[in-house]
Amino acid sequence: MTPDVQAFSFISPTHIRFGSGTVSELPARLGEVGGTKPLLVGDPGMAANGLLGRVEGVLRAAGLAPVLFSAVESDPDVASVREGTRIAAEAGCDSVVALGGGSAMDAAKAIAMMMTNPGTPRDYAGTNRLKAPPLPIIAIPTTAGTGSELTIWSVLSDRATGDKFGIGSPMLCPRFAILDPELTLSLPAGLTATTGMDALTHAIESLVCTASNPFSAAHAEMAIRMIGENLRTAVAQGGNLAARSNMLVASALAGAAFNNTRLGYVHALSLPLGSKFKIPHGMVNAITLPAVMDFNLPGNLPAYARIATLLGERTGGLSLRDAARSSVEAVIALKQDIGLHQTLADFGLTEDRFDEVIDEAMTSGNCQVNPRQATKAEMRAILRAASG
């Protein structure tokens, strides 16, 4: 059954280029956005595994002289954004290329923004607060999870204050997303698993939320199907190009979906849990997703039943309630198959800190579109379920 269509908008302005070897197009794409001196943003892992050097080589072979900034830590801090902006400004960079996972892309977006806007990143926390367009951004993801290559969001940490915040603006959508699955082949199994669960969480939260619309749902549903069919293989056989290709496309699809709907309680909780307990983003989502789904079921039984089917569950003959419930079982089975057995307790969360986490989570805009509103006691029950 298709629900009545409510008023909605859908944007996806990023030009997607997908295919093995597409990273070699980077100089041409830079030319299209007027980039002559790019800041190439990566993380120390990208420098160590040679991918940063490879992309630098592609640019140098085309006669370009990129400026490297490879000090982006996971959960990028505002201090890194400040440092990257300083380097880009001193060198006179006119464009930004992001190579890596969500951390590199989110840092690159913030640097591109701070090159053209005054003040500090915190001044732009929230949505639609940029005063001027950022430098043109080209995103080259090396994980299949964040979807940041297509989204309006940059999520930053502030270690001085101990929190994370998001900056959202359509102007932060990269001009190009170069999706080259060969760049994801070397991602270790553990990171493949957690980043893949991040992508699945994006698609599920977008599909079940109250802001879901036919366009976002089409993207989310395809993402869920592709992740269900490919994540196990990508984790078990890192060198499987077909599985890697499908995961990279699925991650982008999920990004396009949630870019237009926002998310839900999993992502609302992931900001305080990630910043206070140092739990990697994909990991914390994977841990809380089944408990949040279980709570949310009554809020959107048809969508959860659909998720079960997309994840390969047999739902014929089941009641709508039972079919929806089997989506939770499907996610738990997927987690087990890709080796994710952790709980929140494994990262040091204890009951005396539940309220602190919940109070911060409830300030997230993602809560507004969650399909079922929780009391504080119900949020505690979700955290308890994800702790044991």
Ranked by CB distance to Fe ion, the top (closest) residue is 198
CB of 165 vs Fe ion, minimal distance in Å: 15
CB of 257 vs Fe ion, minimal distance in Å: 12
Kindly state the tokens that stand for 139.
């995103």
Site for Fe ion in 231-270 (CB under 5 A): none
Q: Are the C-beta atoms of residues 204 and 147 closer than 8 Å to each other?
A: no
Give 40 or 220: the residue with its C-beta nearer to Fe ion: 220
19: phi > 0 → left, psi -120 to 50 → alpha, else beta; which?
left
CB of 265 vs Fe ion, minimal distance in Å: 13
Kindly state the tokens that stand for 86.
């300083």
Site for Fe ion in 11-50 (CB under 5 A): none
| Euclidean distance between CA atoms 177 and 114, whole angstroms | 21
Give 206 or 230: the residue with its C-beta nearer to Fe ion: 206
Tell me if 77 contacts Fe ion by CB under 5 A: no
CB of 199 vs Fe ion, minimal distance in Å: 8
Give 55 or 331: the residue with its C-beta nearer to Fe ion: 331
Q: Are the C-beta atoms of residues 37 and 94 closer than 8 Å to each other?
A: yes
CB of 198 vs Fe ion, minimal distance in Å: 4
Q: Are the C-beta atoms of residues 351 and 329 closer than 8 Å to each other?
A: no
The 318-347 contact track toward Fe ion, x by CB under 5 A, reads ------------------------------
Of the candidates 329, 145, 328, which has an alpha carbon nearest to the alpha carbon of residue 230? 145
Please provide residue 319's backbone torsions phi and psi, each rounded to the nearest 5 degrees. -65, 160
Give 55 or 199: the residue with its C-beta nearer to Fe ion: 199
Give 88 or 231: the residue with its C-beta nearer to Fe ion: 231
Give 182 or 198: the residue with its C-beta nearer to Fe ion: 198
The 86-115 contact track toward Fe ion, x by CB under 5 A, reads ------------------------------
Strands (E), 159-270: 163-168, 176-179
| Euclidean distance between CA atoms 363 and 349, whole angstroms | 20
Of the candidates 331, 352, 324, which has an alpha carbon nearest to the alpha carbon of residue 287? 331
CB of 179 vs Fe ion, minimal distance in Å: 18
| Euclidean distance between CA atoms 287 and 285, whole angstroms | 5
Kindly state the tokens that stand for 219.
């993207």
Site for Fe ion in 172-231 (CB under 5 A): 198
| Euclidean distance between CA atoms 82 and 69, whole angstroms | 12
CB of 34 vs Fe ion, minimal distance in Å: 31
- Residues at the contact surface with Fe ion, assessed by CB under 5 A: 198
